[in-house]
Amino acid sequence: MAELDARYATALLELAVEAGSVDQTLEQTVFLRDTMQDADFRRVMLDPHILSAEKNALLQGMFKGVLEDHLLGFLHLMVEKNREAVLEPSLITLIDLIHSHQRKTTASVISAVELRPPQVSALKDILSKKLDKQVDVKTEVDPSVIGGFYIQVDGYFIDRTVQKQLHDMKVDMKKECGA
């Protein structure tokens, strides 16, 4: 299924690039993804007992004039081919592809205490330079971290927690003691 949603997402990105509407496609794709997370909308879209024509009429009524033609066409295609289950994963993949195309990414920073705006700004600047991308930083507080923080971004995991430093010290001491 991952291969299928990647193919759809890649085709949609190519259409957006051709049309010069990558930013608008991103905005509308985020809107669609969020709409897919609504329980009632999801239930209707995934219900095999609701006819494709009824689903397409609903989509037309909800999104005609709101979405670009290629996104609306994509929705209709997914319904016609009974691939509604691939719809949300395709949208998520498209968002990731557009961010990659625009050289953007999001870093998740988990810290023991809430980071102050200057700290978040400094992290954003450092990560942007290291990754050569525009980085958006999402922060989360987790008291179990004890102190410090860790970062997850683009498949990288950077651990600067007190717990990790203590673990490293313990390993180094064992090495030095010959244990």
User: Could you give the residue range(s) of every CATH 1.10.520.20 domain in the chain?
Assistant: 2-101
| 105-177 to CATH, choices 3.40.50, 3.40.30, 2.60.40, 1.10.3470 | 3.40.30
Kindly state the average pLDDT of the residues 46-56: 93
DSSP state of 66: T
% of the chain beyond a pLDDT of 90: 74
CA–CA separation, 148 vs 164, rounded Å? 9
Amino acid at 22: V
The domain 2-101: what is its CATH number?
Answer: 1.10.520.20
* DSSP secondary structure string for all residues of 100-159: HHTTEEEEEEEESSPPPHHHHHHHHHHHHHHHTSEEEEEEEE-GGG-SEEEEEETTEEEE
Give the contacts of 46 (CB within 8 A, at least 6 positions apart).
84, 85
pTM of the model: 0.71
Return the higher-pLDDT residue of 43 and 1.
43
CA distances from 75 to 11, 83, 155 (A): 13, 10, 30
Numbered ranges of CATH 3.40.30 in the chain: 105-177
Structure confidence by residue, pLDDT tens digits, 145-174: 888 899 999 888 999 998 888 888 888 888
